[in-house]
Amino acid sequence: MIVVMENGASEDMVHRVLGRIEELGFEAHLSEGEVKTIIGVIGEGKMELKDTFAILPGVEEVVEITKPYKLSGKQFKTEQSVIEIDDVKVGGDNFTIMAGPCAIESKEQLLQAAQQVKDGGAQILRGGAFKPRTSPYSFQGMEEEGLKMLAEAREETGLKVVTEVMDTRDVGLVAEYADILQIGARNMQNYPLLREVGQTNTPVLLKRAMSATYKEFLMAAEYIMAGGNHDVILCERGIRTFIDQTRNTVDLAVVPVVRELSHLPIIIDPSHGTGKWNYVAPLARAALAVGADGLMIEVHPNPTNALCDGPQSLRPDKFKSLVEQMKPIAEAVNRNL
């Protein structure tokens, strides 16, 4: 249920409503837009108490939310969310690029990649320290040692850093180093993990599971937001279909659909989406044209020697020319790139 305040309702009136919601044992979520202030009410049995709120001064109306996306949906918050990581913004008019190797392999590899993606036009460095590998015998990541390298790369380049967390027990540790916590496709419905990152103040990049519907995707975001962390960036990374020429099928339609249903930003990962470096650039350009808020791209100083996902990783020069090619598209669709 949401309580919509009248235009010009005073701060006192808003506080009175918030106080009443809490007195009755519900949770309140305040959203102060430029025009309207609305307050989400979360908890069982609230609709019976609808009139209790409707009569409070400054309340215009009390509306039941019929869609399941209470926090991620647009009924509660109509303006697009912009996630701010200091001066780097994701959402709104921005087109934000996250790039870097699939896995952190060594200090040299990461620092070199960081410098190269920065030169190429990325704002955020990606690199996995905890890797979700299909085989337990494959390289699993450098763990905390890798996180330290990531922090060093941030120090050297000024780039923000995003890295995956796979286990509830590691959330505190990864959040000490990361600017954005990545939830991988395989963990999109790991509800304890979603709840745990929902307890932090660190923005979360939530990747869509390989077989998730739009509803399941947004409900996973809802888990994070219900914990109080509203800084969620969605990421389409390709879904499993009957197509076997590419690693996954990039579902570009998710962008307009999410735009219609949610205020959260959404980016595209054409690297995992296609699995082949030569398909990455066309899909990246399409992502910008279709209205995505950014990209996550794997870039490796030497893809042939990569310990993970070499075939889908761009060489740094290719990454740089891709960003150049995207500039006229960004201009045409009014995005800052």
Does the protein bind Mn ion through residue 269 (CB under 5 A)?
A: no
Nearer to ligand PEP, 9 or 98 (CB): 98
Q: How far apart are CB 300 and ligand PEP at their closest, in Å?
A: 12
What secondary structure does DSSP assign to 11-24, as a single string? HHHHHHHHHHHHHT
Binding ligand PEP (rule: CB under 6 A), the pick from 132, 192, 228, 282 is 132
Tokens linked to 255: 């962008």
Mark the segment that binds Mn ion (CB under 5 A) among 49-57, 97-105, 141-149, 232-240. Answer: 97-105
> HSE (CB half, 13 Å, CA atoms) of 12?
1
Does the protein bind ligand PEP through residue 230 (CB under 6 A)?
A: no
Helix residue ranges, H only, 202-250: 214-226
Does the protein bind ligand PEP through residue 207 (CB under 6 A)?
A: yes
Q: How far apart are CB 7 and ligand PEP at their closest, in Å?
A: 43
Helix residue ranges, H only, the chain: 11-23, 50-54, 107-120, 143-157, 171-177, 191-198, 214-226, 254-261, 270-274, 277-290, 316-332
- Phi, psi at residue 231, to the nearest 5°? -90, 75
Is 93 strand, coil or helix? Answer: coil
Amino acid letter, residue 284: A
**Closest by Cα among 235, 319, 329, 317 to 273:** 235
Give the contact letters, 296-315, x = binds to Mn ion (CB under 5 A), - = no: -------------x------
Nearer to Mn ion, 102 or 181 (CB): 102
Does the protein bind Mn ion through residue 102 (CB under 5 A)?
A: yes
Q: How far is CA 165 from the centre of its chain?
A: 13
Binding ligand PEP (rule: CB under 6 A), the pick from 184, 270, 294, 303 is 184
Does the protein bind ligand PEP through residue 133 (CB under 6 A)?
A: no
Mark the segment that binds ligand PEP (CB under 6 A) among 6-14, 89-97, 116-124, 180-188. Answer: 180-188
Q: How far apart are CB 222 and ligand PEP at their closest, in Å?
A: 19
**Letter string b/e over residues 144-171, b meaning 16 or more CB atoms within 10 A of that residue's CB:** eebbebbeebbeebebbbbbbbbeeebb
Nearer to Mn ion, 213 or 278 (CB): 278
Helices 277-290 and 254-261 pack at an angle, to 10 degrees, of 40
Is 192 strand, coil or helix? Answer: helix
**Rounded Cα–Cα distance for residues 313 and 309 (Å):** 6
List binders of ligand PEP among 259-278 (CB under 6 A). 272
- Phi, psi at residue 312, to the nearest 5°? -105, 5
**Closest by Cα among 83, 80, 79, 73 to 2:** 73
- 68 is in the binding site of which of ligand PEP, Mn ion, none (Cβ under 5 to 8 A by kind)? none
Q: How far apart are CB 153 and Mn ion at their closest, in Å?
A: 17
- 259 is in the binding site of which of Mn ion, ligand PEP, none (Cβ under 5 to 8 A by kind)? none
- 228 is in the binding site of which of Mn ion, ligand PEP, none (Cβ under 5 to 8 A by kind)? none
**Rounded Cα–Cα distance for residues 316 and 324 (Å):** 13
Q: How far apart are CB 185 and ligand PEP at their closest, in Å?
A: 4
Q: How far apart are CB 164 and ligand PEP at their closest, in Å?
A: 6
Nearer to ligand PEP, 185 or 337 (CB): 185
**Rounded Cα–Cα distance for residues 276 and 163 (Å):** 22
Would you tell me which residues interact with ligand PEP (CB under 6 A)? Answer: 102, 128, 132, 164, 184-186, 207, 237, 272
Provide the binding-site residues for Mn ion, judged by CB under 5 A: 102, 309
